[in-house]
Amino acid sequence: MRLVPDLVPALTSSVLDALKRANLFTVNQFLFCGDAQVVADTELPITTVVLLREQLLQLDAYRIQVRSARSSLAREEKHSVSTGVHTIDDLLGGRGLPAGKITQLFGRSSTGKTQVCLTAAASAACEGHQVVIFDSNSSYAAERLRDIIEHKADASHQAVDVKSACERIRVVAVRDPWQLIDGLHHLLSMLSPPSSSLSSSLSSSQPPLLPSPAALHHSASSTSTLIVIDSIGNTFSPYISSTANGHALLASVGDILRRIMQTTHAACLVTNYLVHSGAHPDGKPALGSAWERTPFINIKVARADPSSLLTTLEVLPACPSRIEAQVGVGFSAQVGLGPTGVVDLST
């Protein structure tokens, strides 16, 4: 970067002229030159040189942060996973489920949370992504997923191999926290850098419905992986109060998920139920403080009438201290529920 007037407050026209006479034309040239040498070559006061160096270093650090943020955003955009519903994608900033982040759907029973997960899983599989679903509700019948995938294929302007899309989805039944933690550990092992010993050990010990390590390594490098947990609330709620280490188990799930997010470009979608309290009369996600800081985005799902085919989604802050980091906080939209999953109302 060239030194130009007012690049930083200390770089006045007179200071710039003195630097040019000393053949210092760029930020790097100045920073790589010692203070004593600059003073000798420019005859500028040492206080001016020191102040200029401090300001240019701050500017350089800021530029590095901006580049890092842009790079992170670019990776997130590249590996984000569409939910298959434009309305929901728009609520999430237009890109869908963000890579490296956990998005939580919470609400009462029968509001459409599982339908959103089914639709997102089918859409991701149609786009070539690997999908792993941890199911505690026995809600993911193969026939239902195939119906939604076939509908997506028919509506798509691109050729979709329904059989291949179905094969990209793996459903793992979980009945308790230990099964979920075990399944996530297997998934983390598969997504870690490959090794011959790892691959051989997984072949005999991994849950039978998890994708092969080769498929997940290919997914991690070329597309994305979508992880669905439906429902984190149902899996843990019986153990939070009755088991002494229930909160520790829940924290362990959050830790493993974060490690998976750091290892690969996975997006994660979890569901939870709604609880009321004096501080939250409209309801909040269950499981308390042991879980509340884990999701990056919270989406409240509500249905005014159980017989209605419409459900409302509202983006809420996942954590009060992180409101500024949330996507579309305060926005809401309606979508339709039907036999082919969740649909935009305009379709």
* 114-125 confidence digits (pLDDT tens): 999 999 999 999
Above 50 in pLDDT, residue 209?
A: no
- Say yes or no: 31 and 157 in one domain: no
Choose between 337 and 93: higher pLDDT: 337
- Say yes or no: 216 and 256 in one domain: yes
Closest CA to 338 of 308, 313, 303: 308
Q: What angle do CA 141, 230, 236 make, to 5 degrees?
A: 130
- Say yes or no: 284 and 199 in one domain: yes
Choose between 155 and 44: higher pLDDT: 44
Above 90 in pLDDT, residue 346?
A: no
Residue 72: which pLDDT band, with cuts at 50, 70 and 90?
low
Strand partners, 103: 269, 297
Distances from the Cα of 222 to the Cα of 73, 94, 219, 302, angstroms: 17, 21, 5, 36
Contact (Cβ atoms closer than 8 angstroms) between residue 144 and residue 340: no
pLDDT, average across residues 140-156: 81
pLDDT, average across residues 44-71: 76
Domain end point (choices 30, 57, 74): 74
Contact (Cβ atoms closer than 8 angstroms) between residue 232 and residue 287: yes
Q: Which CATH number does the domain housing residue 88 bear?
A: 3.40.50.300
5 domain-assigned: no
3-state helix, strand, coil in the chain (%, to 5): 50, 20, 30
In the chain, which ranges are continuous DSSP H helix? 13-21, 27-31, 35-42, 46-79, 86-91, 113-126, 142-155, 162-167, 177-191, 196-205, 213-222, 232-240, 246-263, 289-292
Residue 45: which pLDDT band, with cuts at 50, 70 and 90?
very high
Q: What is the pLDDT of residues 16-39, one digit of tens each?
A: 899 999 999 888 888 888 888 889
3 domain-assigned: no
Which H or E run includes 281? strand 280-285
Q: Which of 85-94, 197-206, 236-245 has the lowest mean pLDDT?
A: 197-206
Buried-state track 160-181, b at ≥16 Cβ within 10 A, e below 16 = beeeebbebbbbbebeebebbb
Number of domains in the chain: 2
Domain of residue 272 covers: 80-343
pLDDT, average across residues 258-283: 82
Q: What is the pLDDT of residues 229-264, one digit of tens each?
A: 998 988 988 887 766 677 888 888 989 998 888 777
Angle between helices 232-240 and 177-191 (to 10 degrees): 130
Structure confidence at residue 179 (pLDDT): 92
Entry pTM = 0.69
- Say yes or no: 121 and 32 in one domain: no
Structure confidence at residue 65 (pLDDT): 59
